[in-house]
Amino acid sequence: MLRVLHLTDPHLFADPEGALRGRATLASLSDVLAHYAAGAWRADLVVVTGDLIQDDSAMAYEHFRRLLGGLELPVYCLPGNHDVPNLMREAVGKPPFFYCGSVERGNWAVVCLDSCVIGEAGGRVTASELARLDKILQVSRMEHAMVCLHHPPVTMGSRWLDTVGLDNGDELLQRLSGSERVRLMIFGHVHQDYDANHHGIRIIATPSTCRQFTPRSDDFAVDDNPPAYRRFELWPDGGVDQELVWVSQT
Ligand SMILES: [Fe+2]
């Protein structure tokens, strides 16, 4: 079995006190990691689905490296619309960090995709990213696959969020369902819980490690839900167990 710790949207600042809508993001990520460390459940690897930082600074990535490095696990990262690709690649391009990497373990292929469009909040998975994914799946002997990206491949029923989603989500889903091996897609960006099946694929968003957005809101709005992370257990027969963990502020 492959155990994956899913973290997303930490939105760190160079300033350790930096806050997103009133919540200090570094302290919030630290609380999440402390909660994980204090529990009995252990991950084999970590996936972080973008928006690692908020202020375009190399120092914010340094904070990320320091905190996540403490886990002593492989950390698979992909960019969100708030990331700075060249700074991020520099910060998380070497083991134990991986930038848009992939890994095979326990009959599962885990593939991180880049869905960002420079200068835009919404995203798109380019033909070259799709070709990279196809190639990985073609040569992989793993029977099941989890695809990770920043932007939601489906609409969220939230007017403002759905204007900054994934341009070609439907095309992506149809293509992935055609592969008959992609069982699960995970994403961030929406700062809220989401779990549904589309085209035979389980599609799951994990809330942010800091501030959450109000689900189904027409206009931008944040709510008082605490930081969160998700535990995945991926079974060799393709089964998926998961648990969303809310971390109350201390
Ligand atoms: Fe975000």
H, E, C per residue of 181-229: CEEEEEECCCCCCEEEEECCEEEEECCCCCCEECCCCCCCCEECCCCEE
Percent of the chain with pLDDT over 90: 92
Q: What is the pLDDT of residues 79-102, one digit of tens each?
A: 999 999 999 999 999 999 999 999
Is the per-residue pLDDT at 207 higher than 80? Answer: yes
Task: Count the domains in the chain.
Answer: 1
How far apart, in whole angstroms, are the C-alpha atoms of residue 162 and residue 180? 27
Q: Report how far ligand 1's centroid is from the alpha carbon of 9 (Å).
A: 4
Helix (H) or strand (E) holding 6: strand 2-7
Is the per-residue pLDDT at 250 higher than 90? Answer: no
Is the per-residue pLDDT at 154 higher than 60? Answer: yes
Q: Which two tokens stand for residue 54?
A: 């908020």
Burial track 98-129 (b if 16+ CB lie within 10 A, e otherwise): bbbbbbbbebbbbbbbbbbbeeeebbbbeeeb
Predicted pLDDT of residue 249: 61
Average pLDDT, the chain: 96
Q: Are 113 and 100 in contact (CB under 8 A)?
A: yes
Q: Report how far ligand 1's centroid is from the alpha carbon of 121 (Å).
A: 10
Q: What is the pLDDT of residues 210-220, one digit of tens each?
A: 999 999 898 89
DSSP letter assigned to residue 178 = H
pLDDT higher at 216 or 182 = 182
Whose tokens are 């593939």? That residue is 111
Percent of the chain with pLDDT over 70: 99
On the CB side of 92, how many CA atoms lie within 13 Å of its CA?
Answer: 33
DSSP letter assigned to residue 38 = H
Q: Are 60 and 13 in contact (CB under 8 A)?
A: yes
Structural domain including 217 reads: 2-246
Can you give the C-alpha Rg of the chain in angstroms? 17
Q: Report how far ligand 1's centroid is from the alpha carbon of 207 (Å).
A: 9
Least confident of 135-139, 238-242, 246-250: 246-250
Q: Which two tokens stand for residue 147?
A: 């695809």
Q: Are 91 and 58 in contact (CB under 8 A)?
A: yes
Q: Report how far ligand 1's centroid is from the alpha carbon of 218 (Å).
A: 17
Q: What is the pLDDT of residues 118-134, one digit of tens each?
A: 999 999 999 999 999 99
Q: Report how far ligand 1's centroid is from the alpha carbon of 140 (Å).
A: 31
Q: What is the pLDDT of residues 23-65, one digit of tens each?
A: 999 999 999 999 999 999 999 999 999 999 999 999 999 999 9
Which CATH number characterizes residue 71's domain?
A: 3.60.21.10
Q: Report how far ligand 1's centroid is from the alpha carbon of 158 (Å).
A: 15
Q: Report how far ligand 1's centroid is from the alpha carbon of 206 (Å).
A: 11
Q: Report how far ligand 1's centroid is from the alpha carbon of 216 (Å).
A: 16
Q: Report how far ligand 1's centroid is from the alpha carbon of 229 (Å).
A: 14
> Alpha helix locations (H) across 19-76?
25-38, 58-69
The pTM is what? 0.97
Q: Report how far ligand 1's centroid is from the alpha carbon of 141 (Å).
A: 34
**Helix (H), strand (E) counts: the chain:** 6, 16
Q: Report how far ligand 1's centroid is from the alpha carbon of 107 (Å).
A: 31
Q: Report how far ligand 1's centroid is from the alpha carbon of 138 (Å).
A: 32
Predicted pLDDT of residue 179: 86
Angle (CA) 175 151 7, round 5°: 115
Predicted pLDDT of residue 78: 98
